[in-house]
Amino acid sequence: MTLVDINSLEPLADPLEQAKRAAAYMAVDQNVPKDAKFVGIGSGSTVVYAAERIGQLPNKDQFICIPTSFQSKQLIFDNDLKFGTIDQYLNVDITFDGADEVDSRLNCIKGGGACLFQEKLVASCSKKLVIIADYRKKSPRYLAENWRKGIPIEVVPIAWIKVKNDLINFGARSVQLRQGGTQKAGPVVTDNGNFIMDADFGVIDGDIKVLNDKIRGLVGVVETGLFVDMVEKAYFGNKDGSVTILF
Ligand code: 5RP
């Protein structure tokens, strides 16, 4: 089976979906190594298109796909890809994942979908992390210029009040325990059985690594959604169907 050329695809009615698909398809076409053995599959709505394109690759049966969430496990099955887990296969050739915001140095905020821990785990085991996103995710300079919901932080449930106080002491303007849609639904519970807190530190124009290390050092914090110096390339789909690549 040969791969359908990106330029000859039927356009999608929604320009945002068109942008996501353009970024994801181009990133897959340009980056999956010919001899890939393990490919990481991130989470979110843009990754849906990456999994779709990976499922169209003529050599898809040659590699095993590693999920970063329950959602991405389903994507692997839905696209008839080979499945394995990160505790079986520690050396991932390349991972494709979405982001909530990416700065000009390719640092990013992730975790809008509450999957940040497994996403960071798989990314940290990957030779390459390629981000795929639509135009709204590209920050002109700093993180949290566009993304105003705060830094997602995964915490052990019993520690959330303690961590909230610590974050306020670190200078967070507000810290929210993420709720499952409505207050009545209760807190969002991650695939790892933890909670997500969203901490608003305003625009992050200081040293991101220092802030990240400080938060990660708190007892009760499992991981943050700040991905510092982890991304090799980012593909942003634009409204007109073109793609901007940062590396
Ligand atoms: C999930 C994530 C997602 O990759 C991020 O929220 C982007 O999602 P989308 O592609 O739907 O905009 O980090 O934890």
Q: Which atom of ligand 1 sits closest to the CA of residue 111?
A: 14
Question: What ipTM was predicted for this assembly?
Answer: 0.99
113 lines ligand 1 (CB under 6 A): yes
Q: Could you give the CA distance from residue 72 to residue 163 in angstroms, rounded to a whole number?
A: 29
Using DSSP's 3-state secondary structure scheme, residue 176 falls into strand
101 lines ligand 1 (CB under 6 A): no
Q: Is 193 left (phi over 0), alpha (psi -120 to 50) or beta?
A: left
Residue 74: other Cβ atoms inside 10 A: 12
**Given pLDDT bands bounded at 50, 70 and 90, which one contains residue 165?**
very high
Q: Could you give the CA distance from residue 110 to residue 48 in angstroms, rounded to a whole number?
A: 16
List the beta strands (DSSP E) in the chain: 38-41, 64-67, 82-83, 92-97, 101-102, 108-109, 126-134, 151-155, 174-177, 195-200, 221-224, 226-227, 233-237, 243-246
**Catalytic annotation present for 119:** yes
Q: Which atom of ligand 1 sits closest to the CA of residue 110?
A: 13
Per residue in 12-60, pLDDT (tens digit) is 999 999 999 999 999 999 999 999 999 999 999 999 999 999 999 999 9
150 lines ligand 1 (CB under 6 A): no
